[in-house]
Amino acid sequence: MVESTEQSGGVLLLSASSLPAVTALVEGLYCGTEVCYDVLGVTREAPKAEIARAYRQLARRYHPDRFRPGEPGSEGETQETAHKKFLLIATAYETLKDEDTRRDYDYMLDHPEEYYQHYYAYYRRQLTPKVDVRVVILVTICAISIFQYYSWHSSYNEAINYLVTVPKYRIQATEIAKQQGLLNRTKEKGKNRRSKEEIREQEEEVIRDIIKNKIDIKGGYQKPNLSDILLCQIVLFPYYLTNYVAWYVSWVYRFTICREDYGDQEKLYIIRRYMKMSQSQFDSLEENTKQTFLEKQLWIKENYEVYRKDQEEEMKVKMATDPRMKRYRRWMKNEGPGRLTFIDD
């Protein structure tokens, strides 16, 4: 009687010990109501190599293209049941081969009461993109760089199309083309004779090419350069940083320690900094404008402040005498933005 009671207690104890694993199994999570370890025939302490070996053996047996009903070890199995078992085997392997997923699964087996936490952990991993974040960043940078290049190329073509219509540049380009013999019309006879429209189109193309090659467009409409796109800027950043540090050290040594006189380039750099202009904006200025800056010695702070105030006063005078500004002020006085009315159709 005592022995029977001890056996019953042992059975109950065994059942209680297996209870967490059973109650933790939820349909729709991992292997469903099956234990992934049992599906592959391995223990919870099995290393990754043993799990992979067990998966390959079972996959060869139950793969839909290799499964043969009636083979030893697959008695009673049909093509349909073998297919379902193969999917379960694949799910078990996907769960256990990844360390993070396996850790979540083991936690679910050990803590079946945290029902909602298991759902969250499972679907968080299922819905998280599998692509490496570094790949996403690289693709994004490449896409931005391509957009940059084609956008700059489009702006450059717009600038060329505009300059072709400007008489100043068009006359210069025509003279250069005539000097190079590109616009000398030869008499054409027979089938090779071209129409006036074809000749005009060719001349326009020649003028366009000369303007494109001879005129240095600066600023926001300059010719696109691959080294200016984002991808190249990131790749060349260490090089640019090294150059900047070397330039800064040289500047401090030459002009702060050794007290050297500024050259023209250094003077223009200081003037550009005072004017708070980017390099491309400053480069777009005419050379005579830059020469005027140097003549007025604007690299000296006091001279620049006087120049800035003079420019502001000049701008005020222009705005006061501009007919458009007069009309605008008259409209603001008589009508004002608060008196606008909108008519509904």
User: DSSP code of 180?
Assistant: T
Q: Residue 258 pLDDT more than 70?
A: yes
Rounded to whole angstroms, the Cα distance separating 296 from 288 reads: 12
Q: 142: Cβ–Cβ under 8 A, 6 or more apart, which residues?
A: 231
Q: Whole-model pTM?
A: 0.47
If one compares 30 and 341, the residue with the highest pLDDT of the two is 30
Q: Which residues of 193-211 are buried (b: 16+ CB within 10 A; e: fewer)?
A: eeeeeeeeeeeeebbbebb
Model confidence band, residue 343 (pLDDT cutoffs 50, 70, 90): very low
| The pLDDT value given to residue 8 | 44
Rounded to a whole number of angstroms, the distance between the first and last alpha carbons of the chain is 100
CA atoms within a 13 Å half-sphere pointing along the CA-CB vector of 53: 6
Instruction: Find the mean pLDDT for residues 129-143.
Output: 83
Crossing angle of the two packed helices 133-165 and 167-179, in degrees rounded to 10: 80
Domains and CATH numbers, the chain: 36-127 (1.10.287.110), 134-184+197-224 (no CATH), 261-334 (no CATH)
Cα angle 118-123-128, degrees, rounded to a multiple of 5: 135
| The pLDDT value given to residue 235 | 92
If one compares 194 and 236, the residue with the highest pLDDT of the two is 236
Q: Are 289 and 268 in contact (CB under 8 A)?
A: no
